[in-house]
Amino acid sequence: MGTYVALFRGINIGGNNILPMRDLVGILEGIGCEKVKTCIQSGNAVFQFSGNKISGIAEEIGSNIMESHGFKPQVLLMRAGELEDAVENNPFKTMEGKSLHFFFLASAPVKPDLDGLANIRLNSEEFKLDNNVFYLYAPAGIGRSKLAARVERALGVPVTARNWNTVRKLIAMVRQA
């Protein structure tokens, strides 16, 4: 039985794509996930799964949400070890809280435009791409960051971001699973 982390993109944001966490737990349990725990309303879940079809589970989760709630979010699924590796490889270990962001990538980018991102970054911003994670330290916040707004386009792959506080909560959940 493996432990997995599911990150949902674009749910419960600004009153759109509403998915109560208790409903998400039911959907995950309905497809065979066990010991399901959720973290904050924006769509994070940690669970165990013993089935053979883990490769198609993200699609199945999205389809079940579409059937029950009328929208299909992007679901990024990773093994617990991948999340732990992302934390271990964090190049900004001394940065804390909401200023440090982990952008989890659906796949490794083929031709990322890192120079383009470097050209629009604020002097206070720092970033690094490492495999399937783009790290961004943005002490002025990401709400007004041109760099943060263009990460997905510059990398050319779907991403979903979490701040360091959320990643720490997910790591704690993984270790309890």
Mean of pLDDT values over 43-72: 90
Architecture category of domain 85-176 in CATH: 2-Layer Sandwich (3.30)
Q: How confident is the model at residue 1 (pLDDT cuts 50, 70, 90)?
A: confident
pLDDT at 65 over 90: yes
pLDDT at 36 over 90: yes
Question: What is the C-alpha separation between 160 and 172, in angstroms, rounded?
Answer: 20
Q: How confident is the model at residue 50 (pLDDT cuts 50, 70, 90)?
A: confident
Q: How confident is the model at residue 14 (pLDDT cuts 50, 70, 90)?
A: confident
* Neighbour-count burial for 98-114, b at 16+ CB within 10 Å, e otherwise: ebbbbbbbbeebeebee
Q: How confident is the model at residue 41 (pLDDT cuts 50, 70, 90)?
A: confident
For the chain, give the percent of residues with pLDDT over 70: 98
pLDDT at 61 over 70: yes
pLDDT at 52 over 70: no
80: nearest Cα among 47, 113, 111, 115 = 47
pLDDT tens sequence across 84-108: 999 999 999 888 788 999 999 999 9
2-82 shares its CATH topology with 85-176: yes
pLDDT at 130 over 80: yes
Supply 13's token pair: 């944001």
Strand pairing category for 159-163 and 126-130: unpaired
pLDDT at 165 over 90: yes
CATH of 2-82, one of 3.30.70.1280, 1.10.10.10, 3.40.50.720, 3.30.70.260: 3.30.70.1280
Max CA distance (Å), the chain: 48
What residue ranges do the domains of the chain occupy?
Answer: 2-82, 85-176
Residues with Cβ within 8 Å of 1's Cβ and at least 6 positions away in sequence, in order, are: 34, 48, 49, 50
Question: What is the C-alpha separation between 44 and 128, in angstroms, rounded?
Answer: 23
Residues with Cβ within 8 Å of 83's Cβ and at least 6 positions away in sequence, in order, are: 5, 167, 170, 171, 174
